[in-house]
Amino acid sequence: MSVLLDTDKLKNYINGKWVEAAETTAVINPANGKEIVQVPLSNQHSVDEAVLAAKNAQKEWALVPAPQRAEILYRVGYLLKERKEHISKLLTMENGKVIEEARGEVQEGIDMAFYMAGEGRRMFGQTTPAELKNKFAMSQRVPVGVVGIITPWNFPIAIATWKSFPAIVAGNAVVWKPATETPIMAYELAKIFEEAGLPKGVINVVFGSGKTVGNAMVHHEDIRVISFTGSNDVGRNIAADCGRQLKKVSLEMGGKNAVIVMEDADLDLAVEGIVWSAYGTSGQRCTACSRVIVHEAVKEKLEKRLLRKMKDLTIGNGLDENVRVGPIINQAGINKIKDYIEIGKNEGAKLVEGGYELSGSGFKGGYFFAPTLFTDARADMRIAQEEIFGPVVSLIAVQSLEEAIEVNNGVSFGLSSSIFTQDVNRVFQAQRDLDTGIVYVNAGTTGAEIHLPFGGTKGTGNGHRDSGVQALDVFTEWKAVYVDYSGKLQRAQIDVD
């Protein structure tokens, strides 16, 4: 048991109680392969219990005025802030990301708490003129009921806050399945909800596999919304299943994000942006840069400077403050990256740096992969089309801004993109034409702020957004209300004069 953790066996959190599960599995620290804690592998029964608890709690919760619901979120924010360092360390232990990034992720949760708490006093609808005399019309957001959230291991606390906070402030109750690789963040957050005074049943945590727990949630008729972040295959199946049930579903399923470097760019700045957004979090972000689309006039210069900068990256256990690149989440993650290295070589891209797993002292028991650069890649190669989820970048040379934009858009994903240029005309052309949900100018592809919508076009999602005020659209229904105070029957569209 870790000194940072008060248990060696996590339990589900259902109806305000910690419930032991019959079956559990080990949670492994990806930096050293050591077991941190046991996590439940729950069954359908736990999901049914959680949904029932949520359904009962939601009725009362929806009647609590939104500003009072928000008070609890403010408390959640303060508790997260108080425990930021503790939670960040646990996050590094279970996920591997370096401590500085872990702190950043916890901060994202704190920001989300205060932002969404503010929505408790906004959550604006519209008042609008009615078409008849002595009649009043308005629209308002109402909760949908019980919502199911399924969160990934790569941002186990931030993404959970993007989904659960708007759901809760809007008056829903939540059933949450966290990734089994990173359940400790869910444990810490559930404890905070409890201490902040969230009524029992408003949030329920059920640990377990997607196959059993996730599937049971998707098919449960009392769950009216599923919000999912994870792989493309799983997301598409969820959407199909939800579609048949007329269940609302919000999906975020990754990216193949590019940094465009024009010939007039500040190259040193571009290199910094690429290194940070490609190799930070070991490339395990949906927003990670995995393609560099560079104008041929500066290709060689950029490549040289990039290679130089890559040499400075210290790799190791993320708890060491000097380490910049932590481990990959697990062996399956490593295997996938290794496969893509072979694919890239066979496709004829030139491997100029990395491309191998790291072993030896400092890496013992862990899953480490060297920051990798392919150059002379073609836009249609699989390494330039498919999500690798590791520290692997493919450099593609182009001859113009138009071609750069075409290459950027020529993938099935549409999450994030970036352009480095000093030319204001190009900036505006690019931000208009880049077909992604997020566009950066003179910054890398990562670093979304929580009060803006997060999500993307095409294969990245299905038109919904996490975070921002837009998240409320996922977790609320619109209700139109007409009040006729004329004392007589007035027929819309008919008695209009």
Q: Which is nearer to ligand UN1, 13 or 454 (CB)?
A: 454
> Which stretch, 129-137, 191-199, 281-289, 489-497, contacts ligand UN1 (CB under 6 A)?
281-289
448 binds ligand UN1 per the rule CB under 6 A: yes
Q: Which of residues 388-447 bind ligand UN1 (CB under 6 A)?
A: 446-447
- Provide, rounded to whole angstroms, the least separation between the CB of residue 486 and ligand UN1: 52
- Provide, rounded to whole angstroms, the least separation between the CB of residue 66 and ligand UN1: 26
- Provide, rounded to whole angstroms, the least separation between the CB of residue 395 and ligand UN1: 21
453 binds ligand UN1 per the rule CB under 6 A: no
Active site residue 252: yes
Work out whether strand 35-40 and strand 126-129 pair parallel, antiparallel, or are unpaired.
unpaired
Q: Which is nearer to ligand UN1, 191 or 451 (CB)?
A: 451
- Provide, rounded to whole angstroms, the least separation between the CB of residue 452 and ligand UN1: 10
- Provide, rounded to whole angstroms, the least separation between the CB of residue 158 and ligand UN1: 6
- The single residue of 101, 252, 303, 386 carrying the catalytic annotation is 252
The correct pick among 58, 92, 151, 154 for binding ligand UN1 (CB under 6 A) is: 154
The two structure tokens encoding residue 193? 């909800």
> Which stretch, 20-28, 134-142, 194-202, 284-292, contacts ligand UN1 (CB under 6 A)?
284-292
Give the total of residues touching ligand UN1 (CB under 6 A). 9
The correct pick among 69, 89, 103, 285 for binding ligand UN1 (CB under 6 A) is: 285
d(CA 12, CA 277): 35
- Provide, rounded to whole angstroms, the least separation between the CB of residue 456 and ligand UN1: 10
Taking a C-beta distance cutoff of 8 angstroms, is the pair 39, 205 a contact?
Answer: no
- Provide, rounded to whole angstroms, the least separation between the CB of residue 271 and ligand UN1: 19
The two structure tokens encoding residue 63? 């009647």
- Provide the 3-class DSSP secondary structure of residue 430: helix
d(CA 115, CA 112): 5
- The single residue of 286, 289, 303, 387 carrying the catalytic annotation is 286
Active site residue 286: yes
Hey, which residues does 37 pair with through a beta bridge? Answer: 27
The correct pick among 13, 155, 420, 440 for binding ligand UN1 (CB under 6 A) is: 155
228 binds ligand UN1 per the rule CB under 6 A: no
Q: Which is nearer to ligand UN1, 46 or 460 (CB)?
A: 460
What is the x/- site pattern for ligand UN1, positions 94-113, by CB under 6 A?
A: --------------x-----
d(CA 99, CA 323): 9
> DSSP letter at 463?
S
Q: Which is nearer to ligand UN1, 24 or 154 (CB)?
A: 154
Q: Which is nearer to ligand UN1, 132 or 329 (CB)?
A: 329
The correct pick among 157, 226, 286, 439 for binding ligand UN1 (CB under 6 A) is: 286
Taking a C-beta distance cutoff of 8 angstroms, is the pair 158, 101 a contact?
Answer: no
- Percentages helix, strand, coil for the chain (3-state, rounded to 5) are 40, 25, 40
50 binds ligand UN1 per the rule CB under 6 A: no
Q: Which is nearer to ligand UN1, 58 or 287 (CB)?
A: 287
Distance spanning both ends of the chain, measured CA to CA: 76
Q: Dump the DSSP string for 138-189.
A: EEEEEE-SEEEEE--SSSTTHHHHHHHHHHHHTT-EEEEE--TTS-HHHHHH
- Provide, rounded to whole angstroms, the least separation between the CB of residue 390 and ligand UN1: 13
Taking a C-beta distance cutoff of 8 angstroms, is the pair 114, 29 a contact?
Answer: no
The helix (H) or strand (E) run that includes residue 404 is helix 401-409
> Which stretch, 125-133, 197-205, 236-244, 280-288, contacts ligand UN1 (CB under 6 A)?
280-288
> DSSP letter at 305?
H
> Which residues are within 8 A (CB) of 175 and not within 5 positions of it... i.e. 6 or more apart?
47, 50, 51, 54, 146, 147, 148, 149, 204, 206, 217, 223
d(CA 186, CA 213): 15
287 binds ligand UN1 per the rule CB under 6 A: yes
d(CA 184, CA 95): 10
Q: Which is nearer to ligand UN1, 24 or 287 (CB)?
A: 287
- Provide, rounded to whole angstroms, the least separation between the CB of residue 285 and ligand UN1: 4
Q: Which is nearer to ligand UN1, 173 or 448 (CB)?
A: 448
Q: Dump the DSSP string for 7-54.
A: -SB--EEETTEEE--S-EEEEE-TTT--EEEEEE---HHHHHHHHHHH
Q: Which CA distances in Å does 100 have to 27, 184, 309, 350, 385? A: 22, 18, 19, 32, 30
Q: Which is nearer to ligand UN1, 46 or 229 (CB)?
A: 229
Instruction: Give me the residues that bind ligand UN1 (CB under 6 A), please.
Output: 108, 154-155, 285-287, 446-448
| Active centre residues (catalytic) | 252, 286
